Every structure is written in structure tokens, then in C-alpha cells.
């Protein structure tokens, strides 16, 4: 149903001649988290910003403005938001496909607040087997709690996918074994991608470059041939991860709304903020971003930018799509040409400016688009 709905949505965009359109609304109603992962670039904000929440109405308005058929609710940890059940219920009533991303620490406790629906899926963060994941989230025992929560959610009839971010040092054999194990757990799908090298992440040493990413996924997918791994991503995006597609970034495909506004240009990079979705789409200098255009994009192969490129390509080259969908990603032969970095513009650093501006707004208690909730009340 989801594939049919997305397919008809994409066809409609093309028929109406829309050049840029969103596929997935990324909704970050808060930055606050109950973990502090070494590779996370989302939680390094002063407490007054971490204490901000998007209201239920602001989340619904973001959906109305954006209109994408799929919504991924991320953060921070969304289950810390006290209004999350209401947000999800109201978005499901609009027949949007919702992926609620969570580290699962609160999942068992909060399961009663949600109802299974074909429109709703838990998306549990699991970066590999027990040792890999607990190292990734910098806390022992998190993997076991997540697996226990997945079992309980599946037993209650929920759809559950996992979100696996991989870092330098990951081994294909181990990753393949992990994919076997999560499929045996009964999850409905795997979403995977390399970690993006957030400039605010405490650990800057374990992000993969493009060549290593492609080799890792190629070697892993080779081990998965003949197995029934189910991914929530387009077959062509997986083929891209394995080094077989030269895609340019489509950052508008997964626009992000958070407590700052609509983030320019993508989920990963906060280079500026627009007040409305229309302003984001019309005023962002899109050509300045993507691998080959901007230094901060050089190693990015994340679904935020490239999943939409793969979906659009599926409509441009349907036979190629069918071939890859039937045979899986190509794991032998030469890789597709890489994009030249020769003319990329240098990185700009504007994090402090955005934080100062937001802090000034909060201090002045100006009327803003977010409401402030004490952290302890939400937790």
C-alpha cells in the first residue's frame, strides 16, 4: 500500500511538472535525548534549546505545508515528548505513513499509548549487534532493552523496522550476521546508511568516506545474496550504497522541520532556517549543496539526500529498477564513476550564529513558533 501510494504521489508530481517535491517529511519535535551517542550531531545545544518542543499544532501544520506521503519523526528522542501519542494519532488520521524513530529505552513503558496501524511503524535505532550498538550509543545494555522492546511491540501487532547507521570499522560478516538476526526477530524492514560526519559530533574519527562505504555495503550485500533481508529503502538506493549509481543529492526530498524552523538544506546540515516550507523550497540555493558542490557534503551517502534521487531514478529507468529489485544490488564488477570534488566550495561554519540567535529569541521571550516545556515535565 505504501509503495503504491508513494508511486502515485511521485507520478502526480511529474505530471503536474513540479521540479522539486518532498517524499518524506522529517519532523524533529525536540532535540532532547536520553542518550548521548558519540556520532550524534543533534544534541549539542544549550539547555534552553534542548527544552524546546514543537507543539501538536506545529507538527500538524508542518505536515499541511509539506504534504509528503511519509513522515519520519526523529529527534532527540521523540518518546520524551509528552504529546507524542496525540501527534501520531492525528497524523495517522490524515493517512500519512509514520515512522517513529526511537532508541527504544522508553518503548516498553510507552507501548500502551499507541495502537498498531498499517500507517504506523516503530523505527528502532540499532547500529549492529550487541557490542557494536552499545559502543555506538556509549552505554551498555541498550541493545538488550531495544531487542526486548522490539519483541514486545511485534507481539502486540505493531510494525517495527530498525535503523542501522554504520561507521568506520564495521565488518561485512558481522553486519550480515546482524541483518540475519534482526530478520529472525521478525522486523518488517531494515533501514541502513553510513553515519554522516556531523561537525558537532563528539567522535570525528569513525565516519566512513565514500570509497569505504561502497566497499562495506558491496561486501555485506554479497553475503546477503539469496537471503530474505527486507529493506525499507529503494532497491536503487541500496545499489547506490554498493557503488553502482552516480547520484547527485536531492536534499529537498526529505525536508526537515525542527524547533528552529525549516532547516536548509537537509536533515544533516543546518546552514540556515526558513520560516515556511514554501520559503525553504523557493529560497534555498540548492545548487550549492550535494557531493561535488560543498565540502561538508563530500563523503555523504545518507538517505536524506540520496534516497529521493533513487526513487526519481526508478521512474526514469523502470527497467533498471526492476532488474535491481529482482536481483538485488550489484556486488561485482567496476563501480560507477565518482563525482569530482575539484570544484566544491569550502565549508562554512554557522552553528554558533544560529544558536546565539535562538538563545536571544528565547531570552527576549519573543513570540516564536515553538513552545517551551520544562524538560522534567516531558520526561
Residues in the site for ligand SF4, rule: CB under 6 A? 249, 251, 265-266, 268-269, 289-291, 297, 300, 302, 304-305
The C-alpha atoms of residue 73 and residue 274 are separated, in whole angstroms, by 19
Q: Which is nearer to ligand SF4, 179 or 277 (CB)?
A: 277
Cell numbers given for 27: 519532523
Nearer of residues 199 and 203 to ligand SF4, judged by Cβ: 199
Residue 197, class by beta-carbon neighbours within 10 Å (0-12 exposed, 13-18 middle, 19+ buried)? Answer: buried
The smaller minimum CB distance to ligand SF4, of residues 290 and 328, is found at 290
Q: Which is nearer to ligand SF4, 75 or 290 (CB)?
A: 290
Cα–Cα distances (Å) from 187 to 149, 166, 191, in that order, read: 12, 19, 11
DSSP lists the bridge partners of residue 294 as 345
Q: Which residue's CB is nearer to ligand SF4, number 106 or number 266?
A: 266
Closer to ligand SF4 by Cβ: residue 251 or 255: 251
Nearest approach, Cβ of 255 to ligand SF4 (angstroms)? 11
The three cell numbers of residue 5 are 501510494
Give, in order, the Cα–Cα distances in Å from 6 to each of 96, 100, 328: 11, 18, 21
Phi-psi region of 224 (alpha: psi -120 to 50; beta: other; left: phi over 0): alpha
| Residue 243 or 251 having the CB closest to ligand SF4 | 251
Cis? peptide before 76, omega within 30° of 0? yes
Helix (H, G, I), strand (E, B) or coil at 113: helix
CB of 75 to ligand SF4, least distance (A): 18
**What are 220's three cell numbers?**
555485506
CA 110 to chain centre: 22
Return the C-alpha cell found at 85: 501519542
Nearer to ligand SF4, 143 or 289 (CB): 289
Cell numbers at 241, concatenated: 550504497
Nearest approach in angstroms of CB 338 to ligand SF4 is 13
**Are the CB atoms for 41 and 196 separated by under 8 Å?**
yes
Residue closer to ligand SF4, measured from CB, 158 or 260: 260
Q: Which residue has the cell 515535565?
A: 377
Tally: H helices and E strands in the chain: 15, 11
* Closest alpha carbon to 165 in 36, 305, 302, 300: 302
Find out whether 280 and 274 touch, Cβ atoms under 8 Å: yes
Could you say which DSSP state residue 167 is in?
-
Instruction: Specify the residue, 105 or 269, whose C-beta has the smaller distance to ligand SF4.
Output: 269
Q: How far is the CB of 247 from ligand SF4 (least distance, A)?
A: 10
Residue 190: enclosing H or E segment and its boundaries?
strand 189-194
Report yes or no: 96 and 134 within 8 Å, Cβ to Cβ.
no
Q: Grid coordinates 561485512 are at which residue? A: 172
Amino acid at each position: 500500500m505504501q509503495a503504491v501510494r508513494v508511486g502515485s504521489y511521485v507520478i502526480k508530481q511529474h505530471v503536474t511538472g513540479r521540479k522539486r517535491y518532498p517524499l518524506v517529511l522529517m519532523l524533529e519535535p525536540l532535540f532532547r535525548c536520553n542518550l548521548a551517542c558519540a556520532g550524534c550531531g543533534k544534541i549539542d545545544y544549550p539547555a534552553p534549546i534542548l527544552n524546546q518542543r514543537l507543539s501538536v499544532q506545529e507538527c500538524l501544520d508542518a505536515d499541511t505545508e509539506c504534504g509528503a506521503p511519509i513522515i519520519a519523526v526523529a529527534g532527540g528522542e521523540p518518546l520524551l515528548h509528552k504529546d507524542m501519542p496525540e501527534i501520531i494519532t492525528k497524523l495517522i488520521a490524515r493517512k500519512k505513513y509514520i515512522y517513529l524513530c526511537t532508541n527504544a529505552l522508553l518503548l516498553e513503558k510507552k507501548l500502551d499509548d499507541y495502537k498498531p496501524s498499517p500507517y504506523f511503524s516503530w523505527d528502532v535505532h540499532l547500529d549492529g549487534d550487541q557490542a557494536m550498538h552499545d559502543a555506538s550509543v556509549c552505554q551498555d545494555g541498550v541493545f538488550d532493552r531495544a531487542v526486548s522492546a522490539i519483541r514486545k511491540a511485534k507481539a502486540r501487532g505493531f510494525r517495527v523496522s530498525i535503523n542501522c547507521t554504520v561507521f568506520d570499522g564495521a565488518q561485512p560478516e558481522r553486519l550480515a550476521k546482524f541483518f540475519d538476526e534482526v530478520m529472525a526477530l521478525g522486523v518488517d524492514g531494515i533501514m541502513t546508511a553510513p553515519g554522516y560526519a556531523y561537525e558537532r559530533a563528539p567522535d570525528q574519527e569513525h565516519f566512513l568516506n565514500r570509497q569505504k562505504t561502497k566497499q562495506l555495503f558491496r561486501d555485506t550485500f554479497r553475503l546477503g545474496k539469496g537471503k530474505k533481508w527486507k529493506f525499507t529503502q529503494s532497491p536503487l538506493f541500496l545499489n547506490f550504497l554498493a557503488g553502482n549509481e552516480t547520484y547527485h543529492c536531492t536534499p529537498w526530498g526529505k525536508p526537515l522541520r525542527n524547533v528552529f524552523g525549516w532547516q536548509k538544506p537537509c536533515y544533516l546540515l543546518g546552514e540556515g532556517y526558513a520560516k515556511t516550507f514554501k520559503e525553504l523550497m523557493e529560497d534555498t540555493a540548492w545548487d550549492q549543496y550535494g557531493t561535488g558542490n560543498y565540502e561538508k557534503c563530500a563523503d555523504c551517502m545518507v538517505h536524506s539526500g540520496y534516497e529521493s534521487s533513487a526513487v526519481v531514478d526508478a521512474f526514469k529507468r523502470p527497467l533498471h529498477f526492476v532488474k535491481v529489485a529482482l536481483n538485488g544490488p550489484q556486488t561485482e564488477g567496476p563501480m560507477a564513476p565518482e563525482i569530482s570534488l575539484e570544484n566544491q566550495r569550502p565549508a562554512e561554519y554557522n552553528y554558533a550564529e544560529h544558536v546565539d540567535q535562538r538563545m536571544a529569541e528565547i531570552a527576549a521571550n519573543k513570540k516564536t513558533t515553538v513552545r517551551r516545556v520544562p524538560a522534567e515535565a516531558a520526561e
